[in-house]
Every structure is written in C-alpha cells, then in structure tokens.
Amino acid sequence: IKIYSLHVDCKVTSRFAHTVITSKIVNQANESREATFEVELPKTAFITNFSMSIDGKVYPGVIKEKASAQKEYDTAVSHGQSAGLVKITGRKLEQFHVSVSIAAASKVTFELMYEELLKRQLGKFELLIKVRPKQLVKHFQIDVHIFEPQGIRFLETGSTFMTNELTEALTKVQNETKAHILFKPTVDQQKINPELDETLLNGDFVVRYDVKRGAAAGDIQIVNGYFVHYFAPHEMPVFPKNVIFVIDRSGSMAGRKIEQTRDALLKILQDLRLEDHFSFITFNRKVVEWKSSLLQATAENVASAAGFVQTLSASGGTDINRALLTAVSVLDKAERLPERSVSMIILLTDGQPTSGESNVEVIQENIQKAVNGKYTLFCLGFGFDVSYRFLEKMALSNGGIARRIYENADAALQLQGFYQEVATPILMKIEMQYPENAIEGLTKNNFKLFFEGSEIIVSGKISNELDLLPVEIKAQSHTSDLTLKEEANVKEKEQVFQNQSYIFGNFIERLWAYLTIQQLLEKSISAQEEDQKTLEAQALELSLRYSFVTPLTSMVVTKPTGQEQTELANKPTEAG
C-alpha cells in the first residue's frame, strides 16, 4: 500500500483557518489490502467534510444529529459498537482514522476538511499541522496561505523534525498582508539516510504569526453582511493581582506530579510583580494556609514562599470544598490591597473530592455562592483521574477557565505557560457595544478580564442596510475608565476582500457560526438543565446548517458494499 501523494492545503483568512488534507493511495499488491488514512488535527477545529473516492466512485461523509446517527448505526451494527473514527491523542490534538479495503491495483483518494478560528495566546497565533506519513511520499506538499488585512507583523515557521536538507524544501514568500509558506521535500530529502527507506517527516509543523494593530478600538472586517471585530490593546498598565494558589497534596500527587508542581511554582514565584499580593493554600484531607493573609510579592516574601514550596510533599485525601472556601475567605478578609486590582484563585488538583464534602454538585454550589462574582477561579486538572467536567463547570461558573495538565515531561512548563496567560490582566469589565437594532446573532460581547497577549473577538450579522457600523468599547484599566469609539464604513470594508482570489467567500459567516457554537457549548456546561437543552438545540441547529462535526453531531462514513458499511466520526471533548 503506497501513499503516492499527500497534500495539506491551508488557507488562513483573518485568523480563520480552512485546511484540506488529501491523501492518494495505490494498492501495489496482487490482492486486496487495507488502505488507512490517519490524520491528527487540532482539538479546537471542527471537521466539516470527508470523502473517499475509490476507482472514481465517491463515498461522502454525511453530518447528522449525533443521537439519530448513533441510533442508525446501532441498528446497522448489531454486534456492539466500534471505537469511532476520532479520538484525543494529546494535549492539542485529536486523531481521525479510517481504513478501507481496496482491490489489487486500485487507487483511493481520501480528503478531509476542517476549520478553526486561531486563538491568540501570549502575543501570537499558532497554526499547527501534524506531519506523520509513516512512509516516503513521492508528492508531498504543505501549502499555507495567510491573508491578514491588518498587516502581518511577524511570521515564523518551526518544526520538530527539520534538518538542513529539509530546510531547503521550505520557502516563504511574504508581503504586507499576505504570506505563502510552501514545504515540498523530495523523496531523497525525506529520508533519514540515503540507504534506508525511513522518513524524517514525523512531528509538528508550526506557523506562528501576529498582526499589526493600529486603531485603538480594534479592527473590524465585513463580508456579505457579517462582521467580525478584533480587539487586542497592548502597552497598557498592568493590574496588580491578588492570587491564591490552592494546591492538592493528596497521596495521588506523590512522586513526579508534586515535583513538577514545585518546579512550576518556583518559576511562577519569580514572575510575580512587586505590586502583586499572593498566598498558598495546600490541601489533602486537611487544609493548610501558608499564611493567614495575602502577602505582597516583595523579594523577602517571595524567598520565604520558595522555601515553603520546596517542602511540599503529598499524602492523604482530597478536600477540594474546604480548600476553595478557605481561599475565598482569605480574599474576603484581605485588607490594604491595591484599589484597582484583580483577584484570582488558581486550583491545581489531580483527583476527585474524597474528604469532607464529596458531592460535586454541592461543592459547585458552595463555591459559586461564596465567590459571588467577586473573584475569578481557574481550575487545572492534573492527569486523567480528575473529574474534568466538574472542574470545567466550576471554573466557567466563576468567570475562569479549566485546563487539563497532561502528565508528560513538560507538565511544569504547561503549568507555567498557563500562569503566563493569566499573569498580566490589563482591562476589566469590557463591554463591546454595537447599535442594538442593526445587529443580529451577536456573539458574546462583555468580558470580565482581558489579558495582555490574547484577543477579544466579537461577530454578528448586520441586519439592515447600514452604511456605517459604529462601535463603542467601555472598559476599566488600572489607571482609568476607558471609552473607545470607532466607525466602520461597511462598503469600504467589504471591498477589502472583493478581489482576493484565494479567500473562500463566506468566511466571516462561517467564523461567526464557529464562534457561536463554541460559546453556546461553553455556556451550556454551567447552565441549569432547562437552559442547557435550549443552548444545545441552538448549537445543534448551527452545527447542521454549517456542517460542522461538533459534540452534538456525527459524521456518518459509508464504505463500499461488503465492508463494515458505516462508521461514525464524533467530536471527542476533554471531559470525555
């Protein structure tokens, strides 16, 4: 079975990435064989299309509501369930895997399409393409086209498998607003050494970039009556933080996890700013406060905290409830904190609550009541024994986010990386305002905090014949209350994309649908049951209308007669 052509074609238009992977395979044996198509794609992406064509006959994937697809499938396959075609394979990726039996000398072409909105983190966008053909490929090519009307500020490519020979196969052409990256290694360049047929191509191919930002009130782009508004202020004074680290030191954290946690906390302590205040609470079945109040991050206090962190050891049960309630009460009682400051609690745990209150619903309720919107809660789940759904619901109900920390060699870096994302809050209570009677389907437009290096994105449909789209942003910075205003000329903005040949026409509408689905799904996690159903119904309707494989839809993949007829591609979620 030979892959004779593999092409990854990716078009990024104003952060919205549309990727098509095409693999062509021939069976050179004199009997039928399994041809396999295996692709890793970012977890944040939605698959939008898949097809196989065998000797000219096309077998398309069809996207349906998950429940009804599952029912059909169960009827077709009486002997229980196969594993499904998509599974999570790591921190950032999931794998799509399908195989089909093809006759001697037959050819099959697999084509997979997926879309995602690139998210700015720590000052850059990252496009990740996983490369792993497992064999030498005669025609191998990666094409990345980027068009950013705001202008490209910097652009870099990186890869985990580059050699000097392979670098020669990489070209980059770039002007003010566009870039084209082409990676096209010959068979010889792909080889580990000339004698062996082993490939070097195994790992990540990454493109990182950022855009130029002029206008204070962000940048607005409009196509076919849909708008997107990007807002990422920079060089603003940073809010002082009051941060409490709540660290699990129960028995299951013993060994490597607690070591990695110590390493990360020691680095994080070095990153605190002088005007920050901080404290530690550690817990197993007992809850221990390092100090009874928050301390300022002076050199002396940081050194004393480092001494404490080095003594962290792990044993015993897990009382998440009391640990978090203690953290809230420390913030409630805190005195002499900076007038305008941001208070946050960062919880790191690797297990289920086993001591004290162990009913997760009661814990969620207790914490939400205690926090009462005053502070932001971030929940980091270490490994796979945590109830991720519980942590995610708790974080989202209290203005924060949850993240899984994978038990790899780089766990300490993952923890530090997360801290860096939330280390520099520069705006709070951000409201993005648009003319009420002129916009439909507006995505989320008020935000509790904005962190340096990230980006706020709001999208919607301009309902009537507006000539000018006025926007107003209200927010609080460390030093003042801000009001920023901007007007977008609809006709002029539409012109920007008119003559761009490689832009897919309705990309802002698809971006709007993608963002709306992501936000509806996120909102449904922390919603009451009735609301949950409404939110999921809306997300399902959009998933079907725009053909996205989301956690509410399935793609039914049909195979030629005589083979297991259908298989399902579902979207896995971090909570499983």
Domain spanning 2-212+549-570 has what CATH number?
2.60.40
What digits encode the pLDDT tens for the residues 201-255? 999 999 999 999 987 899 999 999 999 999 999 889 999 999 999 999 999 999 9
Question: Domain limits of the chain?
Answer: 2-212+549-570, 241-423
Domain 241-423 is found in CATH 3.40.50.970: no
The 8-class DSSP code of residue 19 comes to E
The 8-class DSSP code of residue 121 comes to B
Strand (E) or helix (H) holding 227: strand 226-231
Predicted pLDDT at 81:
47
Task: In whole angstroms, give the CA distance from residue 476 to residue 341.
Answer: 11
pTM given for the model: 0.95
Q: For 352, phi and psi rounded to 5 degrees?
A: -85, 155
- Sequence-distant (6+) residues with CB within 8 A of 488 are 220, 222, 227, 468, 469, 470, 471
- Give the lowest-confidence range in 155-164, 288-297, 410-419, 564-573: 564-573
The band of 80, judged by pLDDT with boundaries at 50, 70 and 90, is very low
- Sequence-distant (6+) residues with CB within 8 A of 415 are 260, 261, 264, 265, 268, 348, 380, 405
Other CB atoms closer than 10 Å to residue 528's CB: what's the count? 8
- Give the lowest-confidence range in 67-81, 141-155, 229-243, 490-504: 67-81
What digits encode the pLDDT tens for the residues 150-166? 999 999 999 999 988 89
